[in-house]
Amino acid sequence: MVSAGALRAHLVAARLAGRVATPREKSLRNYALFAARDPRHTLGLDPEGAWDVGALLELMADRCGVSPDPGHTSGEDMIDPDCTLAALDAFAERLARAARDRAPVLLGTGHPHRLLDFYAALAAALSAAGCRVLTPGYGRCVEVPTPFGVRRHVLRYAGGVAVLRPAEAGGQPGPGAHTHSPLPVRALLGAAVEEGSALPGLVVGDHGFLCGAGQLGFEAIGLGDTDDPAVFVAEAEGKVAVAVPVDDTVRTDDYRPLTRYVLTRAWLAQ
């Protein structure tokens, strides 16, 4: 079992929170792009509010603990570890409710190189608790815009977690592709409707999986970095139930204490 105090210390030591590796310049640039409604940064969200850069900075200071000073334009960004802990508690409560109700769940990540193991552990625990872990649309092709043009990807599942694989990879093993796009979750949910299979009572993920599902009205919880303003706008507007502020680019092993903490708090630890 990981105590809140021990996890807080780990968050700071591993730079999951506290001083994080995400550059302040990148965060501010992404706020400006979100304010301009760049689809690469809205992550499938259709914001209701105006959300200019000033409003986004105020929101991110409140939800993540970044500096609210617009004059702070360079260097490392910050995540308040107490914000992370509070959000993880709320995240665990939502998982516990899904397990209690034996709700069907859908998990997906646009950060498979770092976060796949985190989500796969949740999928296994929810499955053991009697939840149906949904896998609609396996093998479906998705055309995703990238900085290098539109690329064809294929939907796959790894440990019950939806990921995108480059189509040219064929059946070769690999964790999947990094993506911010909401197109994969839209394709998965569309496939579930076409197949007449269950729809999720809870979606767990990040980036476009999280915001895209929340925009479509599904209860959604997940993770967001300081340069992902859409995740926290979605939470503020009630389209995402829980957004956990955490650096999403550290070593895979460093997320394991978060996994143990969440599963213990949700009464899902084995």
Contact, 89 vs 32, CB < 8 A?
A: no
Q: How far apart are CA 253 and CA 10, in angstroms?
A: 12
Where do the H-state alpha helices sit in the chain? Answer: 4-13, 24-35, 39-42, 53-63, 81-101, 112-128, 183-195, 207-215, 229-236, 256-265
Q: What pLDDT shows up at residue 144?
A: 87
Residues 6+ apart with CB under 8 A from 13: none
Q: What pLDDT shows up at residue 176?
A: 84
Nearest one of 113, 76, 73, 106 to 197, comparing CA atoms: 106
Band (147; pLDDT cuts 50, 70, 90): confident
Query: Based on the number of CB atoms within 10 Å of its own CB, is 3 exposed (0-12), middle (13-18) or buried (19 or more)?
Result: exposed
Residue 32 has pLDDT above 80, yes or no: yes
Output 35 or 143, whichever has higher pLDDT. 35
Q: What pLDDT shows up at residue 3?
A: 93
Q: What pLDDT shows up at residue 174?
A: 66
Q: What pLDDT shows up at residue 98?
A: 98
Q: What pLDDT shows up at residue 171?
A: 54
Average pLDDT over residues 13-32: 97
Q: What pLDDT shows up at residue 146?
A: 74
Average pLDDT over residues 193-207: 96
Q: What pLDDT shows up at residue 248?
A: 95
* Region of poorest pLDDT, from 37-51, 171-185, 242-256: 171-185
Tokens 């409707």 belong to: 193
Residue 170 has pLDDT above 90, yes or no: no
* Structure token digits, residue 144: 């995703």
Band (80; pLDDT cuts 50, 70, 90): very high
Query: Based on the number of CB atoms within 10 Å of its own CB, is 99 exposed (0-12), middle (13-18) or buried (19 or more)?
Result: buried
Count CA within 13 A, CB hemisphere, residue 51: 27
